[in-house]
Amino acid sequence: MNPKLLLALGLGITACRGGGEVKQNEKPNIIIMLVDDMGWSDLGCYAQDDFHETPNIDQLASEGIKFTNAYATCAVCSPTRASIMSGKYPARIKITDWIPGHSTGNKKFITPKYRYELPLEEVTLPEALKTAGYNTYHVGKWHLGETPEYYPEHQGFDVNVGGHSKGAPGSFYFPYAKIGGGHDWTNLNLPEGHQEGDYLTDKLTDHALDLIEQSVSEEKPFFLNMAYYVVHVPLEGKLDLVDKYKQKFEKGNYKQKSFHYAAMVQSLDESVGRILNKLKELNIEKETFIVLTSDNGGLAGGQFNGNAPLRAGKGTHYEGGIREPFIIRWPGKVKDHATSAQIVTSTDIYPTLLEVAGVEVPKGQGMDGKSLVPLFDAPENSIKRDEIFWHYPHYHRGRPVSVIRSGDYKLMEFLEDGHLELYNLKNDIGEQKNLAELEASKAQELKQKLDDWKKSVDAAPFRKNTPENKKYARTGSGWVGSNNIKNPPVFDLQEDGKMRLYTFNEAEIRYTLDGSNPNKSSKLYEHSFDVSEGARIRIKSWSPNGQQSDVEEFLVGVPLSKCNAASQNNKHQAGLSIDNEKGSYWESIGKLPQSVTYDLGAEKTISGFVYQPARRVREGVIEINSLPNNVDGAIKKYALEVSSDQNSWKTVNEGEFDYIRYAFLNDNTVWFSSTVTCRYIRLKALSSIDGGEIVNIEDIRFIP
């Protein structure tokens, strides 16, 4: 019988064991505050310095238990979110990378298929809580299904506000889209009433407060999954707060340097404060259990120091990528002003919340987490767990890896070559001294436990790239998901003046040359385009199972008069330019310097230029005639110029980007020394990363 039917037929109510006992039929309200990409010490109560200001979250921590050895179950978002909803390790539930991911492996190895959705067969946390009479609300990021049948409203939530397939908005300002429109990047599933100037974090909080009031008026307990989109990119804080942190940085000595990021952290804190105040206003503060944590570590390096003193950050399974803030509060039931060094992880949220609500864990759920209830009034207690585990057979900012933490020790097995790294985190929290050879017996002991665990959860193996292993590789759709098919085809400009197109998933590509959107009756791309005399091409692709990509427009060698961006010489070096309906994206291949010029239509006074530099890293087999391995590039050094007539140009800003693999570490705002009045603005690429000839930027707008 379907486990969801078994659940609906009769889950009993049970009393909690250990401290902070919950009486039968006592049903507190429950709130998960899940932050996106927040570093271990981004909060004041965890921080190395006081650059970020988080008084409300600091108060939350002081009124409950702050955990110092808490972990996300993955260094990227979707697997951790799945583990919270299911109580299972990502390896067990077969969601081991963010959905839908972006790497198919390389020439030597393949990365395995995985699910692109939280299976409907799982008895999710809200489904279990509904059996005890809870109203269930999801607000914010979901990222656990590519298609609507897997959205929150089909996974046990009565209400879904803002949850859909994507992991980030195009912008944090209404209409929450890539600049120039971009319907596919707009946050879907939002109620009516949003308008120009609205900031997404604030509006989601508005909706959450309304839902809380609604549930109280109905005299029913509620479960609110408050899944913030902050502090994920695009780095886009409120401008008044950005100015505040810019001035604060100039007056002090801080390790943190990202003003937009700091502004977004403050907006998060203000949201938490508004929710806490609403609980007080409704006199339900003591009846509400809260857990606050993050889905993975923050970006590391450059301006980002939110993980210090931990090593690395998001996308890696060093401590900076997986160790998280973790706070629980329940006045009168959870000890206040407390700190716990107990090792906890994302899978613990599911059994903890069920026990708090007095709901039995569904039979056959394969629970991997441990209830934290025994720690409520005695944080020094143990929850009797020996180890926690990770399995990430994918490429991101780090290499494919499996990990075990056992007591003070952490072993990392890098899957390409079996290389082991062993750290004693009590003595070396920054993971600087590899003890694998010095303490070889300990390394082998933990390696055996890691192997045994992988067998127990049927973890997908990491395989060599051989003909017989092709059937295991991520080359097409997984179970149901699109495997990145929404991303349009990529291009390669050849020295012979021809453009070739490439796509993932063996998808077919259709195109038009007249500016119309392609459909199934359009021309089928098979070979290449001759773009030596210029071309305007619109493309779209379809996967074998019918999934459709976005439409992308390529303007190659098109005169400036026919588009609002072109290469410096207006001839053959312009690769990709602007689709005004989708948003701004520019990519160019050729010798530097190159530039992109914008016509504002009339002289305007502006104070900033916002953009997100993009780095293309193309690895491995995309299709039979794949792109060369390690083709990558983005702007390194840049100059920003303005003009009234395109005859004389004034440089208003110049600098360079700091980056790591797949991520840029600079703010995505270039500030002028003062406001400027101009009609034309030009961003010039002076050099590119790694000396490549591919240069690209995206998401461009102007600050009036």
According to the model, what pLDDT value does residue 461 have?
94
Neighbours of 72 (CB within 10 A): 28
Q: Where residue 139 falls among pLDDT bands split at 50, 70, 90?
A: very high
Task: Give the mean pLDDT of 189-212.
Answer: 93
Of residues 390 and 146, more confidence is placed in 390
The helix/strand/coil state of 403 is strand
- Cis peptide bond upstream of 461, omega within 30: no
Task: Give Cα 179 distance to the centre of its chain.
Answer: 20
Q: Is the pLDDT of residue 87 over 70?
A: yes
The number of helix segments (H) and strand segments (E) in the chain equals 11, 35
Closest C-alpha among 554, 691, 692, 668 to residue 613: 668
Closest C-alpha among 79, 81, 95, 71 to residue 163: 81
Cα 236 to Cα 139, 420, 583: the distances in Å are: 20, 39, 16
Residue 408 DSSP one-character state:
T
Task: Give the mean pLDDT of 155-165.
Answer: 96
Distance CA 400, CA 94 (A): 15
Distance CA 394, CA 415 (A): 9
Strands annotated E in 379-476 = 387-392, 401-406, 409-414, 419-424, 463-464
Query: Which of 3-17, 105-119, 154-168, 228-242 is most confident?
Result: 154-168
According to the model, what pLDDT value does residue 550 have?
66
According to the model, what pLDDT value does residue 571 have?
30
Q: Where in the chain is the domain with CATH 2.60.40?
A: 493-555
According to the model, what pLDDT value does residue 477 have?
36
According to the model, what pLDDT value does residue 189 have?
85
Of residues 299 and 499, more confidence is placed in 299
Radius of gyration of the chain from its Cα atoms, rounded to whole angstroms: 26
According to the model, what pLDDT value does residue 665 have?
62
Closest C-alpha among 121, 129, 189, 194 to residue 159: 189
Q: SS3 for 637-689, per residue?
A: EEEEEEECCCCCCEEEEEEECCEECCEECCCCEEEEEEEEEEEEEEEEEEEEH
The CATH architecture annotation of domain 493-555 reads Sandwich (2.60)
**Beta strands 29-35 and 288-294: pairing type?**
parallel
Of residues 704 and 392, more confidence is placed in 392
Q: Where residue 684 falls among pLDDT bands split at 50, 70, 90?
A: confident
Half-sphere exposure of residue 237, counting CA atoms within 13 Å on the CB side? 25
Closest C-alpha among 538, 560, 456, 433 to residue 491: 538
Residue with tokens 């409300």: 56
Q: Where residue 175 falls among pLDDT bands split at 50, 70, 90?
A: confident
Fold held by 3-14+30-78+111-170+199-378: Alkaline Phosphatase, subunit A (3.40.720)
* Contact assessment for residue 270 and residue 75, using Cβ atoms and an 8 Å cutoff: no
Distance CA 140, CA 206 (A): 12
Which amino acid type is present at position 583? G
Looking at the domain covering 557-704, what would its CATH class be? mainly beta
According to the model, what pLDDT value does residue 369 have?
95
According to the model, what pLDDT value does residue 311 have?
93
**Is residue 377 classed exposed, middle or buried when 0-12, 13-18 and 19+ CB atoms within 10 A define those classes?**
middle
Q: Where in the chain is the domain with CATH 3.40.720.10?
A: 3-14+30-78+111-170+199-378
* Average pLDDT of the residues of the chain: 82
Of residues 520 and 138, more confidence is placed in 138
Beta-bridged to residue 31, according to DSSP, are 224, 290
Q: Where residue 261 falls among pLDDT bands split at 50, 70, 90?
A: very high
Of residues 602 and 445, more confidence is placed in 445
* Contact assessment for residue 361 and residue 38, using Cβ atoms and an 8 Å cutoff: no
According to the model, what pLDDT value does residue 489 have?
65
For the CA atoms of 445, 447, 449, 450, the dihedral, rounded to the nearest 10 degrees, stands at: 160
Q: Is the pLDDT of residue 648 over 80?
A: yes
Distance CA 287, CA 267 (A): 26
Task: Give the mean pLDDT of 441-446.
Answer: 98
According to the model, what pLDDT value does residue 604 have?
85
Q: Where residue 621 falls among pLDDT bands split at 50, 70, 90?
A: very low
> pLDDT digit string (tens) for 354-384?
999 999 988 878 789 999 999 999 999 889 8
Distance CA 339, CA 604 (A): 54
According to the model, what pLDDT value does residue 196 have?
83
* Angle at 433 (CA atoms; ends 429, 436), nearest 5 degrees: 115
The helix/strand/coil state of 449 is helix
Distance CA 145, CA 139 (A): 16
Of residues 197 and 15, more confidence is placed in 197
CA dihedral for 477, 483, 489, 492, sign (positive or negative): negative
Q: Where in the chain is the domain with CATH 2.60.120.260?
A: 557-704
High-pLDDT (> 70) share of the chain, %: 77
> pLDDT digit string (tens) for 556-595?
665 444 444 333 333 333 344 444 444 455 655 566 777 7
* Contact assessment for residue 385 and residue 370, using Cβ atoms and an 8 Å cutoff: yes
Of residues 408 and 481, more confidence is placed in 408
Assigned token pair, 573: 């070096």
Q: Is the pLDDT of residue 668 over 90?
A: no
Of residues 329 and 258, more confidence is placed in 329
> pLDDT digit string (tens) for 29-71?
999 999 999 999 899 999 878 899 999 999 999 999 999 999 9
